[in-house]
Amino acid sequence: MEGNITLTIIKPGAVRNQYIGPILNMINESGFKIIAIKMIKMSLEQAGKFYAVHRSKPFYESLTEFMSSGPIVVAILEKENAVEEFRKLIGATNPAEAEEGTIRHRYAESIERNAVHGSDSEENAVIECDFFFSKSERLSYL
């Protein structure tokens, strides 16, 4: 399974703007299979744990407040080479640098409110998927 999955989060801004459908559509059209999905609202503490690697960064407090400010959609996506392929689909972290046709170019508001999260390595993908989903909440098509 490792290598074929990645975790995505549709962030509170994109959920508020009614972009869940369009973003999931782009994900499916790009050949990813959604093998787990749910809508939740993180507590500040949960958001802090999820982004713990950024604890020392100046944007940590604002980021965790934003990520716990409203509902999010979390999903596990399956595709060969999922982490790299999904990072191509979402585009650069800063939407000002994201290529046309990427999710962030279309739907992000700013570097913090950048519409979606995608795991940055295969190792982190496994950790992040386990953060939100038990094994019994996942399907596998591969």
Binding residues for ligand CMP (CB under 6 A)? 54, 59, 63, 93, 111-112, 114, 117
Closer to ligand CMP by CB, 62 or 140: give it. 62
Closer to ligand CMP by CB, 38 or 57: give it. 57
At residue 101, the 3 state secondary structure works out as: coil
Closer to ligand CMP by CB, 39 or 53: give it. 53
CB of 127 to ligand CMP, least distance (A): 14
Q: In what order do the strands lie in the sheet with 33-40?
A: 33-40, 72-78, 5-10, 116-118
Residue 4 CA to residue 18 CA, distance in Å, equals: 28
Ramachandran bin of 73, using left for φ above 0, alpha for ψ from -120 to 50, beta for the remaining angles: beta
CB of 136 to ligand CMP, least distance (A): 26
CB of 102 to ligand CMP, least distance (A): 13
Q: Locate the DSSP E strands across 4-124.
A: 5-10, 33-40, 72-78, 116-118
Residue 54 annotated in active site = no
Q: Of residues 114, 117, 128, 132, which has the active-site annotation?
A: 117
Active site residues per annotation: 117
